[in-house]
């Protein structure tokens, strides 16, 4: 196992959809005081240390790493697809510039790094089922920043021996924190609207199929990848394909409709349809299964039951 108690962990972008849950999981493992959450503003209900940190401020990152003796950085600060396409220049600055600051600091201070990628690295020329080595020609700025991020991680590992690992997350579905401005957000919003209003207007077409995953599986995968012995990880160490389940938006709506009486959904595609159409329908995660024994636990039906039970 790589790392364990005795480590001090910094989480950037900790207030987001993933950070909210990852911080709790890391606190359980390393102890509350050993997990330094950070973001642009204070969270409302965090137990444990927090530091304001804009990842574009290299000096501030350095100060936090040195003051707390940070040994592992989980770098989650980013702009997601929908927000990123509204402001591509900021998306590039935060997603690439922020990662550059983290990697350079990790090189100087000997930190390990977790840097997530996304299914958005794939573009329209990718087969419907994306393989680990399918072509990476994204048509979104967000996807392009993620391809660059994977390349940067690979470079820091190859050239400087920085232990950087990462997963190409599918769309993540969770109930503890709202999603932060992505294309797959509809798959979380629909639960809130079904329970609170009995209806939802979905911004992608009913037949839109995308790869998705329940957050519990994503958090477990993240910790398992970071625990894997370094020599078991191959050249995909910073960009593992990971699959949970795939469904059409209409299938999710039908599954919720079977459980929430009277729920109605209409479909009104907006610009996010284009981003969804450019991504694959399914992910092949054989390499992650082979390298670090990855296996998902939640099916779509189990995810729907969990979401409704927790949000009700």
> Which helix (H) or strand (E) element contains residue 282?
strand 282-283
CA distance 215 to 286: 20
Report helix angle 17-30 to 215-227, nearest 10: 50
Tokens of 38: 């950070």
Residues 185-244 contacting ligand NAD, CB under 6 A: none
Tokens of 226: 């970071």
Q: Which does 81 bind (CB under 5 to 8 A by kind): ligand AKB, ligand NAD, none?
A: ligand AKB
Instruction: Determine the size of the site formed for ligand AKB (CB under 6 A).
Output: 10
Closer residue to ligand NAD in complex, CB, 178/257: 178
- Contact between 266 and 203 (Cβ < 8 Å): no
Of positions 171, 244, 280, 296, contacts ligand AKB by CB under 6 A = 171
Q: How far is CA 61 from CA 17, 71, 310, in A?
A: 21, 13, 35
Provide the mask over 98-137, with x wherever binding to ligand NAD is found by CB under 6 A and - wherever it is not. Answer: x-----------------x-x-------------------
Closer residue to ligand AKB in complex, CB, 27/118: 118
Of positions 8, 184, 208, 241, contacts ligand AKB by CB under 6 A = 184
The pairing of beta strand 199-202 with beta strand 9-12: unpaired
Query: What is the smallest separation between the CB atom of 211 and ligand AKB, expressed in angstroms?
Result: 8
Give the three-state DSSP class for 39: strand
Query: Which of 30, 114, 142, 156 is an active site residue?
Result: 142
The pairing of beta strand 209-214 with beta strand 245-248: antiparallel
CA distance 150 to 143: 11
Of positions 7, 8, 11, 17, contacts ligand NAD by CB under 6 A = 17
Of positions 22, 120, 202, 304, contacts ligand AKB by CB under 6 A = 120
- Contact between 92 and 85 (Cβ < 8 Å): no
142 flagged as catalytic: yes
Residues 71-100 contacting ligand AKB, CB under 6 A: 80-81
- Contact between 43 and 37 (Cβ < 8 Å): yes
Query: What is the smallest separation between the CB atom of 15 and ligand NAD, expressed in angstroms?
Result: 4
Tokens of 241: 């394909």
Q: Which does 183 bind (CB under 5 to 8 A by kind): ligand NAD, ligand AKB, none?
A: ligand AKB
Residues near ligand AKB (CB under 6 A) are 80-81, 118-120, 142, 171, 182-184
Residues near ligand NAD (CB under 6 A) are 12-13, 15-19, 39-40, 53-56, 76-78, 80, 94, 98, 116, 118, 169, 171-172, 179-182, 184
Cite the active site residues: 142
């Amino acid at each position: 196992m790589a790392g364990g108690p005795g480590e001090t962990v910094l989480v950037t972008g900790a207030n987001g959809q993933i950070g909210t849950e990852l911080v709790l999981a890391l606190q359980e493992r390393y102890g509350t005081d050993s997990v330094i959450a950070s973001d642009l503003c204070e969270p409302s209900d965090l137990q444990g240390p927090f530091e304001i940190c804009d990842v574009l401020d290299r000096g501030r990152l350095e100060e936090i790493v040195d003051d707390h003796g940070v040994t592992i950085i989980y770098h989650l600060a980013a702009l997601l697809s929908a927000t990123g396409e509204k402001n591509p220049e900021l998306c590039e600055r935060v997603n690439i510039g922020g990662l550059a600051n983290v990697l350079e600091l990790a090189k100087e201070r000997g930190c390990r790094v977790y840097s997530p990628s996304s299914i958005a690295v794939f573009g329209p020329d990718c087969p419907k089922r994306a393989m680990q080595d399918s072509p990476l020609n994204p048509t979104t700025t967000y996807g392009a920043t993620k391809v660059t991020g994977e390349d940067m991680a690979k470079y820091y590992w190859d050239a400087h021996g920085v232990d950087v690992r990462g997963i190409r997350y599918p769309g993540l579905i969770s109930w503890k924190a709202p999603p932060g401005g992505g294309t797959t957000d509809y798959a979380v919003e629909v639960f809130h609207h079904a329970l609170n209003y009995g209806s939802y207007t979905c911004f992608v077409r009913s037949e839109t199929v995308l790869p998705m995953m329940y957050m519990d599986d994503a958090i477990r995968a993240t910790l398992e990848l970071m625990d894997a012995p370094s020599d078991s990880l191959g050249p995909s160490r910073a960009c593992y394909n990971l699959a949970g389940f795939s469904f059409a938006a209409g299938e999710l709506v039908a599954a919720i409709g079977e459980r929430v009486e009277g729920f109605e959904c209409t479909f009104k595609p907006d610009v996010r349809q284009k981003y969804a159409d450019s991504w694959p329908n399914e992910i092949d995660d054989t390499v992650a299964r082979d390298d670090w024994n990855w296996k998902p636990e939640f099916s779509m039906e189990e995810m729907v039951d969990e979401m409704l039970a927790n949000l009700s």
